[in-house]
Amino acid sequence: MVYSEKVIDHYENPRNVGSLDKDADNVGTGIVGAPECGDVMKLQIQVEDGVIKDAKFKTFGCGSAIASSSLATEWLKGRTIEEATEIRNVDIVEELALPPVKIHCSVLAEDAIKQALADYQKKQEEKS
């Protein structure tokens, strides 16, 4: 696979690798994909005053899956919950110049964002 320099950069220097406390009230976690499909993404956000203060990821998958989730955490940081919902997989495809066979990696990243946001919102509803 011939990748863009941006994919290689995210692969070589992944941003925000790690984990947040999944049990914390202000942390939302999304885990998408399956090992037998060859990719699993875990994406977490930490929210303070409606703003995503921190985002972390861990990904099992090909270079473009790693790059897509790394880029997603970069984009999430500093956004409000509202703004975070606006991230689309096509934006990731464009930014990373993903080849057509790798578009599903960007879809997975969008799904992970949505799941993390939903998890956070569910926790907030349960709290109130």
Partner 1 sequence: MTHNHPETLVYLDYQATTPVDPQVLDAMLPYYRKHFGNAASRNHAFGWDAEKAVEHAREVLAQGIGTTSRSLVFTSGSTESNNLAILGVARMYQPKGRHLITCATEHKAVLDPMQYLVKEGWELTTLGVNSKGHLDLEELRAAIRDDTVLVSIMHGNNEIGTLHPIAEIGAICREKNVLFHTDATQTLGKEAIDVEAMHIDLLSASAHKLYGPKGCGFLYVRRRNPRVRIEPILHGGGHERGMRSGTLNVPGIVGFGKALELCLQNREEEQRKVAALRDRLQQQLMDKLSHVHINGDPEHRLACNLNLSFEFVEGESMLMGMHGIAVSSGSACTSASLEPSYVLRALGVGDELAHSSIRFSVGRFTTADEIDHAAALTISTVKKLREMSPLYEMAMEGIDLSNVQWSGH
Catalytic residue numbers read 37, 105
CB 59 within 8 A of CB 128: no
Which residue in the set 35, 100, 126, 127 belongs to the binding site for partner 1 (CB under 8 A)? 35
Number of residues located near partner 1, criterion CB under 8 A: 36
> Does 118 sit near partner 1 (CB under 8 A)?
no
> Does 122 sit near partner 1 (CB under 8 A)?
no
Of 60-99, which residues contact partner 1 (CB under 8 A)? 60-63, 65-66, 97
User: CB neighbours of 42 closer than 8 A, spacing ≥ 6?
Assistant: 19, 29, 30, 31, 57, 58, 59, 112
The residue length of the chain stands at: 128
> Does 14 sit near partner 1 (CB under 8 A)?
yes
> Does 31 sit near partner 1 (CB under 8 A)?
yes
Termini Cα distance of the chain = 48
Span near partner 1 by CB under 8 A; candidates 47-55, 74-82, 106-114, 117-125? 106-114
